[in-house]
Chain A
Amino acid sequence: MRILSIILGVVGSVVLLTCLLTVFFFPLDSWLLWGKVAIGLSMLVVAIAVNWRGVGTTVAKRSTVYVLITTVVALGLLALLGAVNYLANMHRVEIDLTRERIFTLADQSQQLAEGIDQPVTVTAFFRNDEPEALVLTDLVERYRLHSDKIALDVVDPDRRPELVEKYNVKADGPRIIVGAGAQEARIREPTEEALTNALLQVTQTASKPVYFLIGHGESGIQDQSESGYQATADDLTAEGYAVQSLNLVDSGKIPTDAGLIAVPGPRNPLLGPELEQLASYLERGGKLLLLLEPDTDPGLADFLARYQIGYRNDTILDASPYGRLFGMGPDAAIVFTYEEHAITRDLGNMMTIFSGARSLQTPVDGPRADAAVQARAIFSSTPRSWGETDLLAGNWELSPGEAPGPLAIAVVATKNTSTVATDQKLADEMRLVVVGDSSFGDNRYRTLQANRDLFLNIVAWLTEQENKIAIRPRQRGASRVVLGPDEEALIAFVAIDALPVTLLSLGLGIWLARRRR
C-alpha cells in the first residue's frame, strides 16, 4: 500500500506540475487542460488517503520541509528572474560599440523616424528560415528605438497564402511592404537606405520618373552584367524614383512627366533630332545627366559647347598608389577632395573611384557658348594624374600634348529658366551634370567606397530632391593581410604548436616537480 501511495503521489505531482507546460498548447478553457489537472489532483488525493499515517510522518520530517521550502523559493526566484528578463526584453538597451557604428541608424533615418506622425506598418513575407527576416527584424527594431508608430509584421508566405494573394506578393519581387494610410512602397532588400526612403515615400509625396536613354550602347537598367545599371536602377526604385528606359528615336519626344533624363555611357553618337529634343528640353528647365566613357564618340561636343563644357579624347591615368588598395590599376582615377556643392556636401573625405574616365573641361569659351549658363567642375583627379591619349602604346607617362592633372571629372551647369513661357516651362532652373565616366554607377563599381552615394546625390540634386537621402551602408573597415611563407608558418606555429604545447608542458612540469614532494 505504501509503495502504491508513493507512486501515485509522485506521478500525480508530475502530472500537476507539467500542467504549467500544457497551458502553452491549449487555451485556458480547454477540457484537456482541466482534465489533466483533475487527474493529477485525484492521484494526489488517493495517494494521501491510502497512506494517511505515512503522509503525516513524511510531512513532519525536516527533509520534506526542506524540499518544500526549496521548491517554493526556487519557483519564486524563477518567476522573479523571468519578470526581470521580460522587462529587459521589452525595453531593450543596446549600445553599438563597433568602430564604424555599423549597427546604428544614420542621423537622417533617426530624424525621419522621430518625425513620423501616423502609424506605419511594415509587412514582410519571409519564411522563418530566411535570413532576411532576422535582418529586417533587427533593422525595424532600431527604428522603433526612435518611434513607436512603426509596426512590423513578418508573415510566413507558406502559412498565410491568403495574405500573399491580398498583397499580390511574388517570390522574385519585392517582399517588404511599407504602408501608411493609402500610401504604399515596396522594397526588396532589408537595408536602412531602402527602408528610410520607403518611409519617406509613404509619409511624403511621390516624385517624377527618371528616364534612362537607350539606343546608343548605353548601360541598360535591366542589364545585370558588370557594366549594367540594373543595381543602380533598383537603388533608385528603392529610393522612390520611378525608373524607365527611353528610346528617343522611337518616341520622338521627351515624355512630359520626365523628372530627369540620364544617358549612361553612350558608345555611339546621339542623333541630331535627339540632341535637338534634349536641347529644347533643357532650355525649358529640364534636367540631364550625361555619363561619358573614354574611347567612344558620343557626338556631344557641339551640344556641350553651348553649356561651356568640353571633353578630351583621353583616359585619366593616376600615378598615385591609392588604386592598388582596391586591387585596381593606374586607370582608376581616385577622388577624395571635392568642391563645395550640394552633390558633394555629405561626401566628406570619402573616396570615389572612376575606372577609365575621360577628362572634361570647363568653362570653354566658344562661339556657341551660352553666356547665361553657369558651369563649373565639382571634382577633379589627383595632381599626379594626366590624360593619356594613347593607352595602347604602353608609354604610360605624361607626354607632350597630353593634359596634366588635376583634370575635371565632373561638371555641373545651371541656367535660370524662369523667364520661359509658363505653358512651356518645366522648372525654374535647368540642371545638367556631366561626368567623364559611367562605370562608377555600374553593377561592378557602384558599391566601391562612396560611388553609390555620389550617384544618388547627383540624381537627387538633378531632380531637385536634395532632401532625398543617400545612406551609405555602414560596414567595417577592410583588413588586408599579406604574409610571406615564413611569416605564415610562424603564425601557424605560434597558434597551433607553441601555444598548446607551452600550456601542456607547463602543466606537466609543475605537476611532475610537485608530485615528488
Chain B
Amino acid sequence: MRTLLAIARKELKVYFTTPTAYVVCALFTLVASVFFWSFLKRFMLDSQLFLEVQRPELLEQLNFNDRVITPLYVGYVQIIFLFVLPLLTMRLLAEERRTRTVELLLSTPVSPWQIVGGKYLSAVTMVLAMTAICLIYPLLLELAGHGVGGSGPLDWSTVLLGLLGLFLVGATCAAVGLLTSSITENQIVAAVIGMMVLLFFWVLRGVGEGLEGTLGAVLTYASILTHIESYARGIFSLGDLIYFASFVALCLFLTHRMVESMRWA
C-alpha cells in the first residue's frame, strides 16, 4: 500500500509541478464556465420574460437545479471529461515506456497492482480536483439567487449527488485513459484511442435504442450515457454505481495484464 501511495504521490507531484494539468484544467473550466454563464443568462432572461408576460405558473417551474446545474453537468461537463481525461492520463504509462523509466519500476520490488493502483489513484485525484472545481458553479448560484417559499435557491443534495455522478464518470474516463496509455509508447496515440473508446461507449446508447430485443437492451445498458443521468437528477442509483465500478474494474484488470505482460512477453 505504501508503495502504491508513493507512486501516486510521485505522479501527483508531476501533475502539480508541470503546466500540462493546469492548462488542461484551465481549458476545462473555461469551457464549463462559458456554458454555465449561458445557462444562467438564459435563466435570467426566462424569468424576466415570464414576469413580463405574467405567466406565474411558468415562473414557478424555473429552478437552478433543472435549468442550470443538471444540464451543465450532464450535457457538458461529462462530455468535456471524455476529451480532457485521456489527455491527463495519456502520459501515465506510455511515457514510462518511452523514456524507459519503466525499468525502474520493473527492477524494484513493486508489483504490477501497485503500479496500476498508484497511477490510477493519482488520476482519480485529478478527477476529484476537477469535480471540486465544478462546485464553484452552484456556490455562485447560491450567492446570487434566492429561493421561493423559505428554502434556498438550490437543492444541495441533488447538487452533491450530481458531483458524485461527475466523479464516477470521470473515474471511468480515467480508467479507460490509463488502459490506453498502457498499450502504446506514444502518448498522443494513447489519448486518441482513449477518446475513441469513450466516444464509442457514449454513442452506444443511440445504437442500442435503434435495435430491438436483447442486443438493443444490452448495448443501451453498456453505454456510459445510460448511467449518467440519475445522479445529476438527484437519485442515488446503486445499479449505476455498480456499472461504473464494473467498468473501472475491467479497465484496471486489463491495464494490470498489460503491465504484467512486460514480464512475460
Set of chain A residues within 8 Å of B264, measured between Cβ atoms: 62-63, 66
- Residue numbers in A under 8 Å from B209 (CB-CB): 128
Cβ of A32 within 8 Å of any chain B Cβ, yes or no, is no
Q: In the complex the two chains form, is A326's CB within 8 Å of B215's CB?
A: no
Is there contact, CB below 8 Å, between B36 and A495? yes
- Is B207 interfacial (CB-CB < 8 Å)? no
User: Given that A94-B230, A94-B235 are contacting pairs, would A503 and B54 also be in contact in the complex, using a CB cutoff of 8 Å?
Assistant: no
Q: Mark B63-90, 1 if CB is under 8 A from A, else 0.
A: 1111000000000000000000000000
A53 at the interface (CB under 8 A from B): no
In Å, the complex CA distance between A492 and B40 comes to: 10
Give min CB distance, A456 to chain B, whole Å: 16
Within 8 A of B (CB), among A308-354: 325-328, 353
Given contacts A99-B158, A491-B140, 19 further A-B contacts (CB under 8 A): A85-B242, A85-B246, A89-B221, A92-B238, A92-B239, A97-B157, A98-B155, A102-B234, A103-B233, A326-B60, A475-B60, A476-B63, A476-B158, A478-B60, A480-B145, A480-B148, A499-B136, A500-B29, A511-B19
Contact B16 A510 (CB under 8 A): yes
Interface residue A392 (Cβ < 8 Å from any Cβ of B): no
Chain B residue at minimum C-beta to C-beta distance from A66:
B264
B151 touches A481 (CB 8 A): no
Say which residue of A74, A92, A94 sits within 8 Å of B257 (CB atoms).
A74
B42-50, B170-178, B180-188: which one contacts chain A? B42-50
How many residues on chain B are close to A (CB under 8 Å)?
80
B19 touches A478 (CB 8 A): no
Choose, from A37-45, A117-125, A372-380, A443-451, the stretch at the interface.
A443-451
Residues of B within 8 A of A24 (CB): 213-215, 218
Q: Lowest 9 A-B CB distances belong to which pairs?
A: A507-B22, A63-B265, A98-B234, A24-B215, A481-B145, A93-B238, A326-B56, A495-B33, A479-B153
Q: Check B145–A479 contact: CB distance below 8 A.
A: yes
Of the stretches A76-84, A236-244, A258-266, A357-365, the one at the interface is A76-84
A326-B56, A479-B145, A503-B29 in contact; A495/B19 too (CB < 8 A)?
no
Say yes or no: A478 contacts B144, CB within 8 Å: no
Chain B residue at minimum C-beta to C-beta distance from A324:
B51
With both chains docked as a complex, state the minimum distance between the C-beta of A130 and any C-beta of chain B, in angstroms. 12
A507 CB to closest chain B CB (Å) equals 2
A99 to B33, CA, bound (A): 26
A-B pairs with beta carbons under 8 Å apart, 26 shown: A24-B218, A63-B264, A70-B261, A73-B257, A74-B254, A81-B249, A93-B239, A97-B234, A98-B157, A128-B209, A128-B210, A478-B60, A478-B62, A478-B147, A479-B64, A479-B146, A481-B43, A483-B44, A483-B144, A487-B144, A494-B136, A495-B140, A500-B33, A504-B26, A507-B18, A511-B19
Chain A residue contacts of B137, Cβ below 8 A: 495
Q: Are A495 and B25 in contact (CB under 8 A)?
A: no
CA A445 to CA B18, docked complex, whole Å: 59
